[in-house]
Amino acid sequence: MRVITGKAKGLKLNTVEGTDTVRPTLDSVKEAMFSAIQFDIEGANVLDLFAGSGQLGIEAISRGAKKAVFVDSSAVSVKVLRQNVEWVKFGEYSTIVQKPFAAFLKSTSEVFDIAFLDPPYRCGLIGKALPLLEPKMSERGIIICEHEAECNLPKKLGRFEIVRVLRHVGLSVSIYRIPKNEEDEI
């Protein structure tokens, strides 16, 4: 697992070993995700929920995000995450929180421009997290969910709706945005 591009390009990241619930995002999937939002990253406030090793938030900072908040409930994951943030020298752009996702989302007053959700599969966590996350997103917000291919996420979520689904072998990435008004388009 490595940083694909930007300030930390090519640096290898540590992964969490010995657990069935952590599965690092494949480079090809990560590249597709970031290609879909490439013009939205610069200066963004990013949330990496269910952060694991932190690779998605680290990639976002490497590509120009202003900062990332990494949230994971696992002490093992947070330890690896801290090592990765230190290794790529992104400490000043990072906040690491060891807390269950629901407790974090209920307690934070931060507003995010981009949120990555890549929880353990087949646990129903995305469905529980999305309603709590939606009010924490900015008007330019993008929510990116990596999930098992057979998972059906709601097409609409408050102000947001799925605008794109990227399909890969065994998994999908659903991207939510606030739809643009027709009069805003030229």
- 158 within a domain of the structure (yes/no): no
- 49 within a domain of the structure (yes/no): yes
- 123 within a domain of the structure (yes/no): yes
pLDDT tens column, 4-59: 888 887 788 888 875 555 556 666 788 889 999 999 999 999 999 999 999 999 99
- 184 within a domain of the structure (yes/no): no
The three-state secondary structure class of 132 is helix
Phi first, then psi: what are they for 139, rounded to 5°? Answer: -65, -25
pTM: 0.90
- Three-point CA angle 79, 81, 87, nearest 5°: 105
Structure tokens at 55: 């690779």
- 117 within a domain of the structure (yes/no): yes
Q: Dump the DSSP string for 24-80.
A: PPPHHHHHHHHHHTTTT-TT-EEEEET-TT-HHHHHHHHTT-SEEEEEES-HHHHHH
Residue 142, domain CATH: 3.40.50.150
- 96 within a domain of the structure (yes/no): yes
* Structural domain count, the chain: 1
Which domain range does residue 125 map to? 27-146+167-179
Is the per-residue pLDDT at 173 higher than 90?
Answer: yes
The answer to whether 147 and 170 are in contact (CB under 8 A) is no
- 31 within a domain of the structure (yes/no): yes
Q: Which of 14, 3, 4 is nearest to 83 (CA)?
A: 14
Burial class (CB in 10 A: 0-12, 13-18, 19+), 152: exposed
pLDDT tens column, 75-130: 999 999 999 999 999 999 999 999 999 999 999 999 999 999 999 877 789 999 99
Q: Dump the DSSP string for 78-108.
A: HHHHHHHHHHTT-GGGEEEEES-HHHHHHH-
Alpha carbon distance 51, 54 (integer Å): 5
Is the per-residue pLDDT at 181 higher than 70?
Answer: no
